[in-house]
Structure 1
Amino acid sequence: MGVEIKIEHLTKSFGRQTIWGDVSFTLPAGEISVMLGPSGTGKSVLLKTLIGLLKPDHGSVMIEGTDIAACSRAELYEIRQLFGVLFQDGAMFGSMSLYDNVAFPLREHTNKGETEIRGIVMEKMELVGLLGAETKLPGEISGGMRKRAGLARALVLDPEVLLIDEPDSGLDPVRTSFINQLFVDLNAQIDATFLIVTHDIHTARTVPDNIGLLYHRHLAMFGPREMLLSSEEPVVRQFLNAQRVGPIGMSEEKDADELAAEVGMDLPPLPPIPLQLEPSNGIPRRSQRRPGEWCRQNGIVPPPGSFTDSISPSAVGV
């Protein structure tokens, strides 16, 4: 079972440069959340802050009653054992086999014998579809396989929180679809709290229970997937629908002339909200909401065509 992470008034700077300020949101226990944002908005910095690799200037990160932004080294070490991390490039040791890479955390952080370690490693490698590849070196396999090997290593200590940094980086759309399905299937099996940092809009629209968007040194919005996918807030609407019209420009913010030129322009309609990915076995995850549930509960009319594969338009208030 995953744990809840409560972030309150978090601020981080490097010298005079503020990365983001007064960030507050809660990662619900056992749910999949995605954090989006233009390049340079501090998404990876946020992951490092959540695991205590970076100290915030202000604010708190509460996990099971402990504020990791202010706790002792010993407390931080204990809390970190709740986490598994999938780094952007897999972060494999190039001279070690996949088996030894996956076994590394068990050998470093537990007193388990090699027989028990082998059982755990093979279980996790089977979970990510890598049985038979355990003797290969990271340089002998594809980028997608390295991602899966990194995921197996992140899982060997049975984490309650899984942090995933740019899982689609370097992957083609087909492999990205496969790894997205793997995340959904894993969440159904281990019930951990997932936070995925990504630029991939398809991932954000179909995988998570919750979406957040970092923009211009603050958190623009965080909430249930359907809330953001039906939002008319300019930054959220523009980013989640990959549109050119809006406040985001090539250098993050558009200048006054660019914004003035867009005055009176018709915004493209919001696209339909797609169905959320389901586990491969067809059994809904514990945290998975019924399609259209958030819209219905909050009196929001979703874009035309939303959820049409599963429920009628009248069921969601169209």
Structure 2
Amino acid sequence: MGVEVRVEGLSKSFGSQLIWGDVSLTLPAGEICVMLGPSGTGKSVFLKTLIGLLKPDKGHVHIEGVDIATCSERQLYEVRKLFGVLFQDGAMFGSMNLYDNVAFPLREHTKKSESEVRSIVMEKMEMVGLVGAERKLPGEISGGMRKRAGLARALVLEPEILLFDEPDSGLDPVRTAFLNQLIIDLNEMTQATCLIVTHDINTARTVPDNIGLLYHRHLAMFGPREMLLSSEEPVVRQFLNAQRIGPIGMSEEKDADELAAEADQELPPLPPIPIQQLPSSGVLRPTQRPPGQWCADNGVTPPPGSFASDVVTTQ
């Protein structure tokens, strides 16, 4: 089962440049979350701060009673064992075949025998559909296969928190759809807490339980998927619905002239909220809310046509 990650008042700068400040949110145990934001808003920096690769200037990250922003190196080493990370390019060792790449964390951090290592490695490679490719080198396979190999490696230590840094980067829409389904199925099987950093709007609208949006050096909003997809907040509405009208421009923020030119333009209506993607079993995950539940509980009328799909089977 996944664990809760609680972030309080987190700020990070590089020199005099503030990346983001006073970020507070909670990644609920066992749920899938997505972090969005225009390019350059520090999404990957946020992910690296969560695992202690970067130290924040202020704030706290609480995991299992440990504040990784202030803990000792020994405590950090132990907490990091809770994490599995899929980096943007898979981060494979080019001179090792896929089997040895996936086996590396087990050989580095455990005292398991080679027969135990083999059993675990082949189990994870089967989970990501790479059985038969274990002797190939990273340079001999496609980008999508490298992503899946990286995911298998992230899973071998049975992590309780899974981080995905732009897993769709460089993938075509079909491979992205397969990878999204794999993440959902893995969450159902492992119940790990998942955070996906992505630019893919379809992924953000259909996969997660919760969505966050980093913009203009702060966290614009974080909460249940339906809350953000029905939001009238200008920057949230613009980004999640891929609209030109709104505060975001080519250089992140539009200037006063651009905003003034849009003042008389009518905003397009919010598109329908789609059904959240189900695991391959066709059954709601333990942390997945039934369609429309958040809207009903909070008295929000969703956009017309929302949740139109086949009947969803509940547990």
The SS at the match of 1:285 is coil
The runs of 5 or more residues in structure 1 that have no matched partner are: 313-318
The SS at the match of 1:154 is helix
Partner of 1:273: 273
Partner of 1:23: 23
The SS at the match of 2:220 is strand
What do the CA deviations read for 1:249-273 (whole angstroms, capped 9, x no partner)? 0000000000000002100110000
The SS at the match of 1:13 is strand
Cα distance between partner residues in 2 of 1:280 and 1:78: 33
Cα distance between partner residues in 2 of 1:75 and 1:225: 33
The SS at the match of 1:299 is coil
The SS at the match of 1:130 is coil
Shift of 1:159: 0.1
- Give me the TM-score of the superposition, normalised by structure 2: 0.98
The SS at the match of 1:203 is helix
1:158 counterpart letter in structure 2: E
The SS at the match of 2:208 is coil
Partner of 2:292: 292
Cα distance between partner residues in 2 of 1:22 and 1:308: 38
Partner of 2:149: 149
What do the CA deviations read for 1:115-151 (whole angstroms, capped 9, x no partner)? 0000000000000011111011111111100000000
1:119 counterpart letter in structure 2: S
Cα distance between partner residues in 2 of 1:238 and 1:126: 40
Partner of 2:251: 251
Matches within 5 A, 1:190-209: 190-209=190-209
Shift of 1:283: 2.1
Contact 1:211 1:225 in 2 (8 A): yes
Partner of 1:57: 57
What do the CA deviations read for 1:290-312 (whole angstroms, capped 9, x no partner)? 00000000000000000122569
Partner of 2:213: 213
Partner of 2:128: 128
Contact 1:83 1:160 in 2 (8 A): yes
1:80 counterpart letter in structure 2: R
Partner of 1:87: 87
1:130 counterpart letter in structure 2: L
1:7 counterpart letter in structure 2: V
The SS at the match of 1:219 is strand
Partner of 2:184: 184
Contact 1:106 1:157 in 2 (8 A): yes
- Alignment of 1:159 with 2:169, yes or no, is no
Cα distance between partner residues in 2 of 1:64 and 1:290: 29
What do the CA deviations read for 1:191-212 (whole angstroms, capped 9, x no partner)? 0000000000000000000000
- Alignment of 1:75 with 2:83, yes or no, is no
Instruction: Count residues with an aligned counterpart.
Output: 312
Cα distance between partner residues in 2 of 1:107 and 1:64: 25
Cα distance between partner residues in 2 of 1:278 and 1:208: 10
Shift of 1:107: 0.3
Contact 1:166 1:198 in 2 (8 A): yes
Identity over aligned residues, as a percent? 79
Partner of 2:174: 174
Shift of 1:16: 0.2
Contact 1:206 1:277 in 2 (8 A): yes
Partner of 1:236: 236
Q: CA-atom RMSD, angstroms? A: 0.9
2:60 counterpart letter in structure 1: S
Partner of 1:315: none
Higher mean C-alpha deviation, range 277-286 or range 115-124: 277-286
Shift of 1:282: 1.1
Partner of 2:116: 116
1:269 counterpart letter in structure 2: P
Partner of 1:46: 46
